[in-house]
Amino acid sequence: MSEIVVETRNLTKIYRDFWGRRKVHALKSLDLQIYRGEVFGLLGPNGSGKTTTIKLLLGLLFQSEGEALVFGKDASEVRRNERIGYLPEESYLYKFLNAEEILDFYGKLFKIPAAVRKQRVRDLIEMVGLTWARKRQLKEYSKGMTRRIGLAQALINDPELVVLDEPTSGLDPIGTREMKDLILDLKRQGKTVLMCSHLLADVQDVCDRIGILFQGELKEIGRVDSLLKVRDLTDIQTSLLSPEAVEEIRQVVAKHGGEVKWVGNPTTSLEELFLKIVEESRQHPGRRAHGGEQDGR
């Protein structure tokens, strides 16, 4: 069995009003295990309990019932925070500092030696693609740039567990793709990643396993490839066939008790199409991308 990095047992959170009366049952008896080296996605619509779960795991909230364990220790233990990196949904950074200064500041909080800190700041800024803006004050950053420097800040202590709350929020398609590539790179480094999102395509692209929350309850959990597999259909992909060949295949399928549901050309995703057009435009300025319908209808 792989090492368990994050575990919840009957984890429950009830928000109460000033008089102690139950106001919101935000999380209901959550049982969850996240293993070392995996990317785990916590999915759900707004208000499903994702951010509450994260705050309980980080010790920012106290549970009403149950247990939250990180590295085998209670989530309320402060010392284990030095092994965690956290990117909140909204990054709260000192706007009058530039990228180098903000990362150096957080590096000092972790008591990272000066020489190591200087190199790590340089490497992280390059990793998130902000070398060109490293001397600009953060108040001049766009939201997408702020998300990138927020991720760098979350990694300044070289954490074993990285917690990301809506990591692609505010990013354009190119920035989103780069953020997802960064998450996959963290996995290759052996880090454990817990990410929350309501953007299904982002989670599908990077996560090994997912858990789906709805109204505070865990409704489904499992490997992405297993959950998405349609088990009562079989896909066969070939090169372009003649109509005669397609008809012959239909007859063979019918002979064996099956039915051809659909014949046509496969489609790519809108994200892949967008990125391809941008890359082709960079390589060939002024040339219009080909492949789509010419009249735009």
pLDDT in tens, the chain (297 residues): 579 999 999 999 999 887 877 788 899 999 999 999 999 999 888 888 999 999 999 999 999 999 999 999 999 898 888 999 999 988 888 999 999 999 999 999 999 999 999 999 999 999 998 999 999 999 999 888 999 999 999 999 999 999 999 898 878 888 888 889 999 999 999 999 999 987 777 888 899 998 888 888 888 888 887 777 766 667 777 777 888 888 888 888 888 888 777 776 665 555 565 566 567 767 776 665 554 444 444
How far is it, in rounded angstroms, from Cα 112 to Cα 93? Answer: 19
The answer to whether the beta carbons of residues 100 and 167 sit under 8 Å apart is no
How far is it, in rounded angstroms, from Cα 205 to Cα 210? Answer: 11
Q: Which residues contact 11 (CB under 8 A, 6 or more apart)?
A: 27, 29, 30, 31, 32, 53, 56, 63, 65, 66, 67, 68
Specify the DSSP element, H or E, that contains 64.
none
pTM value is 0.79
Specify the DSSP element, H or E, that contains 211.
strand 209-214
How far is it, in rounded angstroms, from Cα 149 to Cα 12? Answer: 33
Q: Where are the alpha helices (DSSP H) in 45-193?
A: 50-57, 99-109, 114-127, 143-154, 173-188
How far is it, in rounded angstroms, from Cα 148 to Cα 133? Answer: 11
What Å distances lie between residue 281 and 18, 96, 177, 285, 287, CA to CA? 58, 36, 17, 5, 7
